[in-house]
Each structure stands twice: as C-alpha cells, then as structure tokens.
C-alpha cells in the first residue's frame, strides 16, 4: 500500500479532472493538453491523478500511458491511476497503461445499488459479491495498489454494501471509494453512510484500508457531502478542478481544500498537502484547455470571489480586510506577480515566465510559442500573463487536432448587405481548400464556409467571446461549442477555443478546432465500428 503510516489528520487528494472531469460535454482534451494538466496537478500537490479510462479508446490508453511515463516518473511523484470496470479486459488495459509509473494504481468498480444490479447489470447480489472478489483479486495480482468503488453506493443498501466492501478488502483492495454517483445524498445521510462503513468493514480502523469519498453535484451538495464524509472518517477526497464533470459536475478540489484550511478547527485539524497558491493558476489552465469558462461567482477561483462592490463592504475592507474576507487572495494564487513582457523581451525571459506560469514546453513548442509572442508584440505595446495564457491555449488547441488549419479568412459585411465569408484551409497533407459562403451574420458565414470545405454536419450551439485584457488592442478569446451528427444520427457536442486580436479570426479558428475534434472522434468511431 502506498500511503502507509498516514497521518490520521491528513486527507489525500485524488484528482479525476482527466477522467470524470473530461466527461463534461464538449470537454474532450488531446494528449498534449492532458499532459500539461497532469504536470500542473503534480505541481499543485495532488496525491493521486486519475489519468483516464484506459479501455475507453486508443487515445485514452495513450494518454494514461504517457502520463504514467512522464508525470509518474517525477521525483516524489503522484500515484497514477486508471479506471477499469470489474472485468479482466478492462483491468488488463488499466495495468498496461499505468505500469510505467513509480506509483501505479488500478481503480476498478462495480455497481451495488439494487436499481443498477437489476436494470443495468442484470445480476443478483450474490453474483455481484462473487464478481467483486474475483476481479479485485485479479487486479491485486497485477498491482499492489488497488482501489474499489461500489458504483451508486449512495443508493445502495448499507448492510449489503458492507458485505461487498468486506469482500473487496479480503481480495486485496487498499482503498474503498464510496461514490454518490447521481448526487442523491444529503450531507447527513452521506456522513452516516461513511460512518457505518468505517464501523462495520474490517481493516479501516486498523489503518490497513483508506476510505474515499466521491460526490456529484446534482443537488448542489457535492462539497458539503464530501466534507461530511471526511468528518465521518474518510481520508481521501475525489475531486476535479473547477468542479467539472458529468451533468452538474463533481466536488470542486479548490472548495474542499480551502474549506479544510480556512475552517481547520471546525474540521478537527484535517489538512491536505495541496499548494494552495497554485489553485487559481490550475483553474485557469483547466478552464482554457477544456473550453469550460469559470462562472464569475465561483467560490475561490471565480473572477468575483474577492471583489467587493457594495459601499459598506468597501469601507470595511479599507479599514481591515478581515471584515469581509475569510481568506487572503494571495493564499489561493490571486494577485500574484504579473510580469509584463514586450517586443524587447528575449527568448530566455519568455521561457522563464512560462515556467513561473506552470507551463513546461518542449523546445519545439517553446519556439512556436515565442514566434507567436513576437507577432503579438507587434500588435500590442505590452503583453501580460493573460495574453500569454490565451496564446498557449490557442496553440494547445491545435495540437493533435490539425486535420485542417486556417490559412486565410476574409469577411465582407455591413449594414444592409448579406455577410459573405471566404475561407482557405490547409489539410493534413498540405493541400489547400477554398470556398465562400453567406450567412445571417459574419460569424455564421465563416462557420457555413468551414462546414462546406470540411464536409462537417455541424451546427453552432454556443458562442462566447471576451476580451483577455482591457484596451482596444485586447486579444479576443472565443469559446465555441458545436453539435455534430454521426452516420446513425447520434448527436455529439465538441468544443473549440482560440484567441486573436481579430475577433472574426479567433471565431473561425475556434470553430475549426471544434470541427477538427469532432471529425477525428467520429472517424475513429466509424473505423472501430467497421473493424
């Protein structure tokens, strides 16, 4: 077991941004983006990174494997885990992917609620128990660190759950994760569930097995449930950056960590090893790379989290910040040094600033980023951290998604005229493709033109644009979501994000990024179906 002699007050942070978080509609990440996030999670100090679901696709397997080989080989690295259903094929794939890490983990699961057993799995309780024992034992024969999750534990019969968990421990599980899969529980219910497990499942009180909590936010209680579970004896929290995830999302890492830190006495001195000064930086990176904006009023990392507009609040803040702030902004990464670069800044200064911002680029990636930085310097007098983040987001968006690249874009529009867009794309073989199209607006004309060239059956469903910085020379950061339909008529959502000083160019590149992701995904699925 990897966490022997664990301080009873320490809470392990299991980050599933790259697995459960990536299941947010449209949040698909490419390999380069996953590696960047995994590196930043390691800097943040998470204890376990769930790098993906290895069996899900060749791309997922490659990402888990690469993260295990790179991030999993750092000095004092995090545990690298892969999810697997309770069958040998899944477990074999998970082990093949994580085996390269210094600290690998197989995370296997099987549903235990009667509604899942009857309608989804179509197996009896006794068959469930038998399968758990057999598959956890098989996973343990490959890897000494095995986590077992009874899916939909929040709606499972507690006594049956204890029986299943006892079998999992006997089979070699080192962590027992208790998912509130559909966000059904209240904090009181969930705390009682965890307390019952701690009391009735052998090995937990003796410190041989760690209890973990994994809560979804369907009723807005994910963080409250997680904290209730920790108070009841769990010592691992499964979370995501910004709380992203399926449906209403997962428990937010930053909320749990700062709740424990800010209200330490209330929570009995529980603590984590997270470097909280990295929270805002990590939040911004995940938001940029997943194309999922953080709402302004989001706790800890939202733009308004430390903003005070009411006059009485401002008066109190001027006299003493403690009147209206329970945390210092700098403790979570706000108000950090924002070094301004310009056209006279050299490659070394640029590279150093990227490292301070948490980006670890290859030489080739750095050269490309520096070239784009110099181009931007010709358009702006000064370039801020926000500008650089926008450039890097745009650069990572195209990595692995370059079926087509935008080469030229021209739009004619005006009062009383029909907008017309002319676009030239370059395909993966370097061949140019050009076309023109009209639309009910300039952005619509650009999207129609890209659809005509790529042959994508796509529809724009969301369009967001905001200025990265202030001023007329600000970079426009555009986030787009498109709906694409496969040959069977099934609909999928894909997202794209891009940044440019020209809003229409940024819009075209963001739309194309989403189209590239969709075409790759649908073609890969079509090929697998044919095979």
Verify that 149 and 237 share a domain, yes or no.
Answer: yes
CATH number for the domain harbouring residue 457? 3.30.160.270
The distance from CA 450 to its chain's CA centroid, rounded to whole angstroms, is 28
Give pLDDT tens digits for 231-247: 999 999 999 999 999 99
Per-residue pLDDT tens digits for 136-189 = 999 999 999 999 999 999 999 999 999 999 999 999 999 999 999 999 999 999
d(CA 240, CA 223): 11
Q: Which residue has the tokens 């609620």?
A: 113
Residue 5 maps to a domain: no
Contact in structure between 498 and 383 (CB atoms under 8 Å): no
Query: Do 284 and 218 sit in the same domain of this protein?
Result: yes
Residues 6 or more apart in contact with residue 191 via CB below 8 angstroms: 228, 229, 231, 232
- 324 and 463 share one domain: no
- Do 499 and 361 lie in one domain? The reply is no
Specify whether 147 is located in the same domain as 102: yes
Residue 322, in any domain of the structure = yes
Residue 390 lies in a domain: no
pLDDT at 339 over 60: no
306 and 357 housed in the same domain: no
Does 371 share its domain with 440?
A: no
Per the structure block, which two tokens stand in for 323?
Answer: 């009147």
Cβ neighbours around 527 below 10 Å, total: 9
Residue 336: band (very low, low, confident or very high) from pLDDT cuts 50, 70, 90: very low
Q: Is the pTM of this model over 0.85?
A: no
- Count of domains forming the chain: 4
Positive or negative torsion for Cα 223, 227, 233, 237: positive
**207/326 same-domain check:** no
Q: pLDDT tens across 315-328, in order?
A: 554 566 666 577 88
**Residue 440 domain flag:** yes
Closest CA to 222 of 245, 199, 204, 196: 245
Task: Indicate whether 309 and 411 sit together in one domain.
Answer: no
Residues 377 and 507 grouped into a single domain = no
Domain that holds residue 352: 347-383
**Any domain includes 84:** yes
pLDDT in tens, 351-375: 887 877 777 778 888 888 888 888 8
Domain co-membership, 197 together with 323: no
pLDDT at 499: 84
Pairing of strands 432-438, 104-111: unpaired
Name the more confident of 268 and 318: 268
What pLDDT band is residue 471 in, cutting at 50, 70 and 90? Answer: low
Residues 206 and 70 in one domain: yes
């Amino acid at each position: 077991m990897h966490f022997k002699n664990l301080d009873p007050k320490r809470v392990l942070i299991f980050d599933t941004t790259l697995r459960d978080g990536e299941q947010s509609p449209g949040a698909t990440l490419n390999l380069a983006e996953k590696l960047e996030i995994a590196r930043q999670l390691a800097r943040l100090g998470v204890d376990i990174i769930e790098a993906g679901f290895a069996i899900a696709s060749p791309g997922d397997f490659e990402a888990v494997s690469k993260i295990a080989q790179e991030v999993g080989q750092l000095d004092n690295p995090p545990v690298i885990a892969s999810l697997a259903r309770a069958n040998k094929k899944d477990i074999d794939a998970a082990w093949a992917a994580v085996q390269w890490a210094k600290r690998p983990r197989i995370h296997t699961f099987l549903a235990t609620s009667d509604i899942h057993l009857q309608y989804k799995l179509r197996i009896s309780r006794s068959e469930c128990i038998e399968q758990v024992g057999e598959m956890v034992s098989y996973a343990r024969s490959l890897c000494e660190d095995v986590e077992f999750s009874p899916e939909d534990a929040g709606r499972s019969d507690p006594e049956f759950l204890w029986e299943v968990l006892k079998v999992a421990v006997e089979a070699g599980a080192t962590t027992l994760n208790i998912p509130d899969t559909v966000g059904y529980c209240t904090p009181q219910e969930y705390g009682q569930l965890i307390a019952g497990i701690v009391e009735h499942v052998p090995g937990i009180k003796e410190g041989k097995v760690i209890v973990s909590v994994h809560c979804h936010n369907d009723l807005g209680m994910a963080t409250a449930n997680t904290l209730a579970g920790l108070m009841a004896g769990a010592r691992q929290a499964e979370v995501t950056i910004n709380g992203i995830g399926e449906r209403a999302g997962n428990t937010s890492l930053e909320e749990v960590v700062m709740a424990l830190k800010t209200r330490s006495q209330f929570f009995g001195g529980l603590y984590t090893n997270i470097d909280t000064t990295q929270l805002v930086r990590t939040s911004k990176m995940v938001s940029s790379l997943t194309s999922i904006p953080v709402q302004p009023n989001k706790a800890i990392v939202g733009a308004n989290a430390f903003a005070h507009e009411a006059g009485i609040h401002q008066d109190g803040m001027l006299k003493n910040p403690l009147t209206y702030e329970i945390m210092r902004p700098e403790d979570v990464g706000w108000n950090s040094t924002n070094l301004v670069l310009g056209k006279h800044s050299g490659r070394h200064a640029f590279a150093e600033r990227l490292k301070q911002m948490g980006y670890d680029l290859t030489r080739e990636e750095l050269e490309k980023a520096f070239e784009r930085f110099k181009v931007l310097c010709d358009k702006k007098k000064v370039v801020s951290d926000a500008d650089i983040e926008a450039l890097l987001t745009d650069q990572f968006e195209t990595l692995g998604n370059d079926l087509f690249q935008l080469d030229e874009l021209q739009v004619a529009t005006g009062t009383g005229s029909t907008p017309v867009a002319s676009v030239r794309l370059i395909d993966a073989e370097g061949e140019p493709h050009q076309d023109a199209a009209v639309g009910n607006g300039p952005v619509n004309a650009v999207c129609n033109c890209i659809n005509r060239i790529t042959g994508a059956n796509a529809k724009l469903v969301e369009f967001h644009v905001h200025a990265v910085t202030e001023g007329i020379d600000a970079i426009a950061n555009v986030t787009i979501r498109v709906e694409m339909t496969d040959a069977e008529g099934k609909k999928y959502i894909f997202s794209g994000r891009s940044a440019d000083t020209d809003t229409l160019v940024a819009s075209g590149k963001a739309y194309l990024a989403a189209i590239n992701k969709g075409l790759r995904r649908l073609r890969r699925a079509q090929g697998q179906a044919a095979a």
